[in-house]
Structure 1
Amino acid sequence: MAQLNVGIIGVGSIATHRHIPEYQLLEDVNIVAYCDIVQERASEYAEQFGGKSYDNYKALLQDDSIDAVSICTPNYLHAEIAIEALTAGKHVLCEKPMATTIEDAERMIEAATNSGKQLMIAQNQRFTEAHELARETLSQGKLGKIYSFKTTFGHAGPESWSVDGANSWFFDKRRAFIGAMGDLGVHKIDLMHYLLNETFTEVGAMIETSEKEGTVDDNAVFILKTKSGAIGTMSAAWVYKGEEDNSTIIYGEKGILKLNTDSEFNYIFIDEEGNKEAYKLGKIQTNDAQTSTGTIERFIEAIQGGQPVPVDGQDGLASLNVIVKALQSAQEKKVVKI
């Protein structure tokens, strides 16, 4: 395979824990540029691993040798940088949520179409082994008709995760747009789209700022309905103390599927008679256990193989749309059609 040159835009925690080390695992990828508004962060990685450092992403995008970029910036910059990168002829892997408005997300999709370059959204939960097996199980009809589900992603908050701690942009509504819903909830929305192979048609939401300082949400629960009539809940929170919860349960006419609910077996199927199938598969990523997500590998494989990325702009838009409608639901205190 031909070598691909990559630039990292935003050298914060998601870049240093996920993007940079996962690119470094690939033999046919070189990270040749690092950019951060705090240039010392970019310079540290450039000096350690080689490459150039920038404090302005526009200068990085002028480098014609760069084939692709990872956008790991605060949410409000995703669309602006992605559109400029695509227009400059770069493939783009953008962190979630892909944008802060539906209009910006649509502009990103249009830029990808016009440029002929790939736009992938970093929804990494699709790529865990338990979720991939669950998708196969569900598509084969092992659970029969799906009746309901519960999916949850919660921990104590990004203070210990973010490079800026309690002063992180995560808590600034202007830069983040949303809090736990954008950090965690959008992952679970995308996951349910993937597992159920359909999108949601209605949402009712309760959204709170229960503990964190600032004006972004830290505790949200959605009730969701699919076109086929499955109803369930999604919880996203930065207020879960003592233990992270990153689990999904799906209820069907032929049994129950439990994903990441057990510390040992992260795929459990229980049929109508109570018979159990349990498998130990690859662990899901947590703030404490930084296993490889597979996201970067899939992004590079798509570029090199000339194939569509597995999570494209339309997928990112579908998840963002649920979040936007949930905000409307909470404000208007009623169920909203999507």
Structure 2
Amino acid sequence: MQKEVSKIMKKKLKVIQIGTGSWGFSWVEKALQSPWVELAGLVDMKQEMLDYAVNTYHLDPSICFLTLKEAVKHVEADAAFVVVPPAFHKEVAIEALECGLHCLVEKPLAEEMEDALKMVLAAEKAGKKLMISQNYRFKRAPQTVKQLVEKGFVGEIGSVFINFQKAPHFTGFRTEMFEPLIQDMSIHHFDQIRGILGLNPVRIKAHSWNTSWSWFKGNPAASVIFEMENGAVVSYNGSWVSQGWETTWDGDWRIQGSEGEIHWHNNQVILHPSDLFVSVFQDGAVEKNGDLVFDLAAMEEEERMASIAEFAAAIAENREPETNGRDNLYSLAMVLGAKYAAKTGACVEVAELLDPRHFSKYAHIDD
């Protein structure tokens, strides 16, 4: 990706980062490491956080500000990284967009669909790019799976089975969330479903629960069923309190179609075709006992660095980034729909989730 972006970029993108904290400081590191952006400014409402950034990353104090309003007065910038808590995404991103800055926003886009749509409309009104950092899309293994699906190796997709099992002993806000797995983790997998399959969901059913040994106040385990627009069904099962077998953070995927099945697990991508002789002579694949084991797609960068590259390239080419705000409304709808379905037992229509006339129905699900 780096070589491709380098061909497009005539100059570095000047970025103001809004928000610090433990995760925010890792974004400072990414901005300083990226060959495509220049950290033009840093904004945080707490002076001690700015002081920490200056001392830790040797930043010029003159580029650190308590407000975005002050930052845009004193530094030249093209874009903003929005790394504040999700509850403040709308307020901060809209201010940045109205200041003429493109925005790369940490996931999730927003906590409520109404806020998310307001952000999308603000970006469209300003003529600026709004991208959500769905960094799990930008990894070698899912990109490999996506390419196999696009090339038709499994034919028409009918069923997808995803299992995710981890036992992270988090402290802090995640242990207090109503639906920690669905809201904080599954958003990655839900967005990957759309990115890999090239399909949007139309209907959602879900059940979530806690266990006797859990260290979470809310529900760290869930089963979610998505009916996709082509009629395919995705069965997602996840747990953050697994006491035995664990998957990778991507999970264990089986994508079944009319021409075969893709098994993606432990960073391996394996195709079991219905007719090996149709698929056996494929570049980058080795046949083993009737299965084709594929090399992972080449990428110069992965995860957040690749997200930054996509953001910079989209601005340079004046196109919508892959995980743009309007597209991401569907990923947010999957999270909100799963939470609502788990809470009420209802089957949720995605079209209703995206309809402003029904925003109030799905607002404040955690209450």
Task: Please state which band the TM-score falls in when normalised by the shorter chain.
Answer: 0.7 to 0.9
- Please say if residues 157 and 255 of structure 2, whose CA atoms lie closer than 8 Å, have aligned partners that are also in contact: yes
Residue aligning to 1:270: 272
Q: Once structures 1 and 2 are overlaid, which stretch shifts more, 51-60 or 131-140?
A: 51-60
- Please say if residues 204 and 349 of structure 2, whose CA atoms lie closer than 8 Å, have aligned partners that are also in contact: yes
The alpha-carbon distance between structure 1 residues 151 and 314, as it changes in their structure 2 partners (threshold 3 A), is: farther
Deviation (angstroms), 1:24: 2.5
State which of 5, 9, 34 in structure 2 corresponds to 1:26: 34
- 1:99 aligned partner, one-letter code: A
- Please say if residues 18 and 84 of structure 2, whose CA atoms lie closer than 8 Å, have aligned partners that are also in contact: yes
Matched, 1:300 2:312: yes
For residues 66 and 209 of structure 2, what CA distance do their matches in structure 1 show? 35
For residues 231 and 132 of structure 1, what CA distance do their matches in structure 2 show? 21
- 1:194 aligned partner, one-letter code: G
The alpha-carbon distance between structure 1 residues 95 and 217, as it changes in their structure 2 partners (threshold 3 A), is: farther
Gaps of 5+ in 2: 1-9, 276-288, 351-367
- 1:23 aligned partner, one-letter code: A
3-state SS of the aligned residue for 1:294? helix
Matched, 1:249 2:254: yes
**Residues 187-336 of structure 1: pairs in structure 2 closer than 5 A:** 187-210=188-211, 211-214=214-217, 216-241=218-243, 243-245=246-248, 246-247=250-251, 248-259=253-264, 261-262=265-266, 266-272=268-274, 275-281=290-296, 293-336=305-348
- Please say if residues 203 and 336 of structure 1, whose CA atoms lie closer than 8 Å, have aligned partners that are also in contact: yes
Deviation (angstroms), 1:156: 2.8
3-state SS of the aligned residue for 1:144? coil
TM-score, normalisation: structure 1:
0.84
Matched, 1:133 2:135: no
- Please say if residues 135 and 304 of structure 2, whose CA atoms lie closer than 8 Å, have aligned partners that are also in contact: no
Gaps of 5+ in 1: 160-165, 285-289
Question: Number of residue pairs matched?
Answer: 318
Q: Once structures 1 and 2 are overlaid, which stretch shifts more, 40-49 or 183-192?
A: 40-49
TM-score, normalisation: structure 2:
0.78
Residue aligning to 2:79: 68
Deviations 1:260-309, CA, capped at 9 Å, x for gaps: x13xx52111112562121343799xxxxx97651111111212232221
Residue aligning to 2:25: 16
The alpha-carbon distance between structure 1 residues 226 and 43, as it changes in their structure 2 partners (threshold 3 A), is: same
In terms of Rg, which structure is larger?
Answer: 2
State which of 44, 56, 59 in structure 2 corresponds to 1:36: 44
Percent of aligned pairs with the same amino acid = 25
The alpha-carbon distance between structure 1 residues 80 and 334, as it changes in their structure 2 partners (threshold 3 A), is: same
Query: Higher helix share goes to which structure?
Result: 2
For residues 63 and 98 of structure 1, what CA distance do their matches in structure 2 show? 28
Deviation (angstroms), 1:206: 1.0
Residue aligning to 2:187: 186
For residues 316 and 33 of structure 1, what CA distance do their matches in structure 2 show? 27
3-state SS of the aligned residue for 1:233? strand
Q: RMSD of the alignment, in Å? A: 2.7
For residues 299 and 241 of structure 1, what CA distance do their matches in structure 2 show? 39
Residue aligning to 2:111: 100
- Please say if residues 153 and 185 of structure 1, whose CA atoms lie closer than 8 Å, have aligned partners that are also in contact: no
3-state SS of the aligned residue for 2:91? helix
- Please say if residues 160 and 233 of structure 2, whose CA atoms lie closer than 8 Å, have aligned partners that are also in contact: yes
Deviation (angstroms), 1:46: 2.8
Deviations 1:59-111, CA, capped at 9 Å, x for gaps: 44555512211112211111111111111111111111101111111100000
For residues 240 and 86 of structure 1, what CA distance do their matches in structure 2 show? 42
For residues 349 and 318 of structure 2, what CA distance do their matches in structure 1 show? 36
For residues 14 and 321 of structure 1, what CA distance do their matches in structure 2 show? 25
